[in-house]
């Protein structure tokens, strides 16, 4: 079993940059809308959760090549993605409520 160094910042930075690029103005980049970007992010989170469940299941069954460590990492990534999605949803609802209570 090999243990990776803690300072694996390139992988962390690539994850952050991909997340930041997902929330850039999509109209100027690809011609997509905010709702299309949101749907793609939801599908991505769903895929991450399914992969984490599969990895955990394989680790519990003792399949070769899948360690408990890999299962924990996949589960942590899925949990973080889900938390981010819930926060985006909460902020969107908060903005909607603010707009609806504005006086015209």
Distance CA 47, CA 54 (A): 11
* Structural domains in the chain (count): 1
Tens place of pLDDT per residue across the chain (104 aa): 566 555 544 554 455 555 556 555 544 555 578 888 889 999 999 999 999 999 999 988 887 788 888 899 999 999 999 999 999 999 999 999 999 999 87
Question: Within the chain, where are the H helices?
Answer: 9-22, 26-29, 34-61, 68-100
Q: How far is CA 101 from CA 88, 89, 90, 93, 104, in A?
A: 20, 18, 17, 12, 9
**Does 6 fall in a domain?**
no
> Which domain, by its residues, includes 95?
11-100
**Does 67 fall in a domain?**
yes
**Does 39 fall in a domain?**
yes
């Amino acid at each position: 079993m090999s243990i990776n160094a803690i300072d694996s910042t390139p992988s962390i930075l690539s994850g952050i940059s991909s997340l930041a690029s997902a929330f850039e103005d999509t109209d100027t980049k690809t011609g997509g809308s905010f709702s299309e970007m949101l749907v793609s992010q939801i599908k991505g989170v769903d895929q991450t959760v399914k992969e984490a469940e599969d990895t955990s299941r394989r680790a519990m069954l003792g399949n070769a090549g899948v360690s408990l460590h890999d299962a924990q990492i996949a589960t942590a990534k899925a949990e973080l993605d889900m938390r981010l999605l819930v926060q985006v949803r909460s902020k969107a609802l908060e903005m909607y409520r603010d707009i609806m209570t504005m006086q015209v």
